[in-house]
Structure 1
């Protein structure tokens, strides 16, 4: 597959039927829910005596309730039952729910429609764990980010189109109600047809016993997820995004009406640009990540969420129109393009934030527990969405304006991001590495598929610059434990990055024999735990651009840990600012220019019995060639 071919997945049976099944589910959920809310807002007296404001709070809450109660059980079911079979069952359930809703629509019976809302919440709860556990089973590792991006794009576009369709159909007098009843049933049937094309996806735990106590299972589920700190904090970051997004979206109707002085079309425009932004950001992840799970995009996304959330506050203050406008009139108002740009960019950076988190959770959690992990995340998502509603009510109670709520959320996002990234510094380390290879350098990676997806291995590479470890780490699909000279490890700023990446400092026997022996013990332990360990066998940076001889440390490592050794070579870094090139600093900077080109070549694995320093030196030298 080519770099830009994530859309080719839509032509393949292992992905396309599943995509359309989940797309139609998201579309139908929102078509039904929006039609009901619009009908109860504008025609409430013919259905109930309950106030529209109360119904607009209660109905979304009833939809979310099953996520809190049944997500853990849904995760167990998804790990126990073959996924295509489960998808078909969920679609049959959707048809039954839409038949009940149809009776409610046609008989003017509100409690049947409310029961259908809860039913659709159950439908979405059951399908949620399947949705993200299916992907790592059926996509290659290099397709996972692109596949998640397409799924996220499809989900938000489905939500958007469903909301628009629901609002338009129910407002079509006098046939709006029958049209909604028919449309939701037809969409559910089409979803069932699509689900029959989903290929078999075996259950990872077919003997799993389903717990009869959803609450106890929810607690066990979250406790299990907490054992993997990185995965749990990624789940927390994902739920935070839903907090941020739910608070923003919930205020769009009032913002469109009271601040932009627009009609319903203006509200739809805000939804549209936000959803298109999410879809765009989700699709950009594959290109920006180099088709691997690049968690360095998460801090980048978080920065954008805060920056453009804050600017949305100032853009709202600068908007001066007070006359009622329709969609066309709004677009003519001064300052409105800045507001729309902020909203679409919040969506774009939201996509960059959420897709790598999904991919990280899928690849780092226990493969037998993926569905239950996703179910635990759904519980957290629902609780965070409830918390966002409570925060909105609290801010409004204390007199906050909608723009002030946007500002408070953007600032709070920065605080939450710093907290999460301080607990898992790998996010920031990968972000800095990503910046290095996408701003200062253009990096070509050759043979990266030779780095094993799982299991231990020793990587050996020539040592050219102070940022070799960052370049290699950014190019690798997996985290790497680097062994480096203790002096470089102690370098200001860079040393902090190396410590966050769990690098292993080493010294010569002459300098510090205790530190040297400790380094070998740490290396053996890392390899025993299945990690990748990278060493620079030259033991020092080159001062001439030519490779120094390889020392015997690598032989000592493989003698203790019988693991494959993978030779690698950096090309094109010599002469950059962070090398020991004795040339004039300014001449070097000017000659190389911005976005200078370099490469990392990865060779075939070498068996441990063949991994002598002399043989590895020749292999690395051949990989490097004449390009220093």
Structure 2
């Protein structure tokens, strides 16, 4: 995908009706929920069944409880039936619920409104698995990050606009009537949009559904743990929602007690945070080259730590008690808070989008919706924990909100370190991404020639010590490299090689060669991508040396497609042997322009060392 894939998706029927449906759902949820909470907070004495503070906390619990009770069942139904049809049924249910809510608003029946809030949470619990599991069916793999970026952008902007509009509605003279008309109208519009979503055929129609919520929840959580990468994505997403819930919950008191703001100031902080997430989501798509790139995740997590701590250190020591919204926005001492909060949101968007895309892509199609359901359950658990954390830190320990923000920043750093020790691929992909986006200006051509699945053997010319990193950053699939043992054993390289499952080889040791070839065959047979530099060493003159005969043996042992790749522009770089030994000379240039050109796959029966060398030479041309 080139050009502007995000805007192009918004012109496609396979995405636009879906996008509008999910955004309107989030929008209407927040109008209903926030109007209800504001009306409860300012209700006249005697009109509520319980104390207002207790009712507000009860409302939050009633909305999240269905995610524990019904997510697993929703996941099974979404795998068993057409996901688009499920979305339409859920949106029809929303019309019914909102019609009842309209009557409850007009009659000011708060007990009924609370019961209906539970039903809205139930509707959202059934909507979620179908919503996220449908994306991989309607989008190609290379569109998945763009699609998720737009979904997250639409969701957070819908939440923001819904929350702001709820405040306007609740403060109107005839608030209950306007609220009643609004929630029904937007529910109807959402249903009409859902009617245009193309069908998404059942991924597992033979799945047996039984109404056993507790048992099904255990089974669903177990399914999510089968694939380590998928479960790590779920934990990362849940951690994001933990942090988001912690920050959003504290915005009202943070603005009032530490920034001198009023209700409008809270809305302004929410706006900055939501716009930041939207920008980060779209930026992530650009930074990753519109593909699933786990190397972006550490960039977002580091930003969360840095800018989360920034909220603590930029909070003024003292502020006037009441500032108008104009004074609040223009106050010079608050500028640092605004910047930190916005960049915190940007970092969150960069962090979350690749995790959603990777979870959807890695999940088996026949159980994808159940994995999304497990993700929703874990999200709910982490959000409950966030509420408990806030109570302990701020009420039991009686510490300040800025100090709580610093605590979250430090905690995020510790959690991130743990995650990266458990999943080093995230860190190494980040290193690859940094190298390929800072030290070099890397451009790719015909990456689509690399098959999307099955074993693939890549052969490339060998110009510099950065070749493997650049190829790893370019290839949309993980690559296993065959590497000279001396380089493999270098102190700063060894840990990286182990994490990436590099295959060491000593060309002078027959046993080492045979052992390496056995490993290559094993990886290729199980469907991995393996890259070999058939020259056997870095070039001394920038030219492509004859390919060693070992490549013929690899091809003979493993009948998989062979893809020739040419590296252009690396000769003369600091990591090449031009002008002296690599790494032991004065750098002549920085941010070099590098091209990675991928040739058409060659059937193993037609491939040999001579043909492959000629293919690489042709692809490289005169640009060394």
Pairwise same-fold verdict (TM > 0.5): yes
Please report how far the alpha carbon of residue 357 of structure 1 lies from its aligned counterpart in structure 2 after TM superposition.
0.4
After superposing the two structures, state which structure 1 stretch, 235-244 or 2-11, moved more.
Answer: 2-11
Deviation at 1:49, TM superposition (A): 4.9
Matches within 5 A, 1:312-461: 312-316=311-315, 318-396=316-394, 397-461=396-460
Indicate which of 605, 609, 616 corresponds to 2:601: 605
**Corresponding position of 1:529:** 526
Shift of 1:421: 1.1
Residues 487, 44 of structure 1: alpha-carbon distance in 2 compared, 3 angstrom cutoff = farther
Aligned partner of residue 493 in structure 1, secondary structure: helix
- 1:419-568 counterparts in 2 under 5 A? 419-508=418-507, 510-511=508-509, 513-568=510-565
Shift of 1:562: 1.0
SS in 1 for 2:223: helix
Q: Report how far residue 529 of structure 1 moved.
A: 1.2
Q: Which residue of 1 aligns with 2:214?
A: 215
Question: How far apart, in 2, do the equivalents of 1:585 and 1:534 lie?
Answer: 22
Given that 2:108 and 2:176 are in contact with CA atoms closer than 8 Å, whether structure 1 keeps it comes out as no
**Structure 1 residue aligned with 2:133:** 133
The answer to whether the 8 A contact 1:545-1:581 is kept is: yes
Structure 1: gaps spanning 5 or more residues:
none
Deviations 1:368-417 (A, max 9, x none): 21111111111000000000111111101101110011000111111111
Question: Equivalent residue of 1:577, what SS?
Answer: coil
Measure the CA separation in 1 of the matches of 2:310 and 2:615. 53
Structure 1 match to 2:229? 230
Alpha-carbon distance in structure 2 between the residues aligned to 1:326 and 1:494: 57
Q: Which residue of structure 2 aligns with residue 90 of structure 1?
A: 90
Give, in angstroms, the shift of residue 259 of structure 1. Answer: 1.0
Cα 1:589–1:367 change in 2 (3 A) is: farther
Aligned mates of 1:118, 1:420 — CA distance in 2 = 34
Conserved? CA contact 1:7–1:150, under 8 Å: no
Contact kept? 1:565, 1:608, Cα under 8 Å? yes
Cα distance in structure 2, aligned partners of 1:454 and 1:400: 53
Structure 1 equivalent of residue 27 of structure 2: 27
SS of corresponding position for 2:616: helix
Find the residue that maps to 2:345 and give its secondary structure.
helix
* Corresponding residue SS for 2:564: strand
Query: Could you tell me whether the CA contact under 8 Å between 2:561 and 2:604 is conserved in 1?
Result: yes
8 A Cα contact 2:105 2:113, kept in partner = yes
The alignment yields a C-alpha RMSD, in angstroms, of 1.5
Residue 57 of structure 1 corresponds to 57
Task: State the shift of 1:322 in Å.
Answer: 2.4
Match of 1:272 in 2: 271
SS of the equivalent of 1:148 reads helix
Match of 1:580 among 573, 577, 580: 577
C-alpha displacement at 1:439, in angstroms? 0.8
Shift of residue 584 of structure 1? 8.7
CA distance in 1: counterparts of 2:450 and 2:235, whole angstroms = 30
CA distance in 1, matches of 2:47, 2:32: 16
Deviation at 1:556, TM superposition (A): 1.3
Following superposition, the deviation at residue 528 of structure 1 comes to: 1.6
Task: Spell out, residue by residue over 1:220-253, the C-alpha distance to the aligned partner (whole angstroms, 9 max, x if none).
Answer: 1221221211111111001000001000000001
Contact 1:103 1:112 in 2 (8 A): no
Preserved CA contact (<8 Å) 2:573 2:588: no
Q: Who is 2:155 aligned against?
A: 155
Q: Deviation digits for residues 450-497 of structure 1, max 9, x if unmatched? A: 111111110111111112111001111111111111111112223222
Residue pair 1:3, 1:291 contacting (<8 A) in 2 also = no
Displacement after TM superposition at 1:552 (Å): 1.7
Q: 1:586 to 1:531 in 2, by over 3 A?
A: closer
**Shift, 1:580, TM fit:** 2.1
Residue 617 of structure 1 deviates from its aligned partner by 0.6
Alpha-carbon distance in 1 for matches of 2:525, 2:118: 49
- Distance in 1 between residues matched to 2:583 and 2:575, nearest whole Å: 13
What CA distance in whole angstroms lies between the structure 1 residues aligned with 2:571 and 2:61? 60
Q: Does the 8 A contact of 2:83 with 2:131 survive in 1?
A: no
Measure the CA separation in 2 of the matches of 1:5 and 1:567: 28
Whether contact under 8 Å (1:575, 1:588) holds in the other structure is no
TM-score, normalised on structure 1?
A: 0.97
TM-superposed deviation, 1:589: 5.8
Once the two structures are superposed, what CA deviation does each residue of 1:92-112 show, in whole Å capped at 9, x if it has no partner?
110111112112112222221
Identify which range, 84-93 or 215-224, moves more after superposition: 215-224
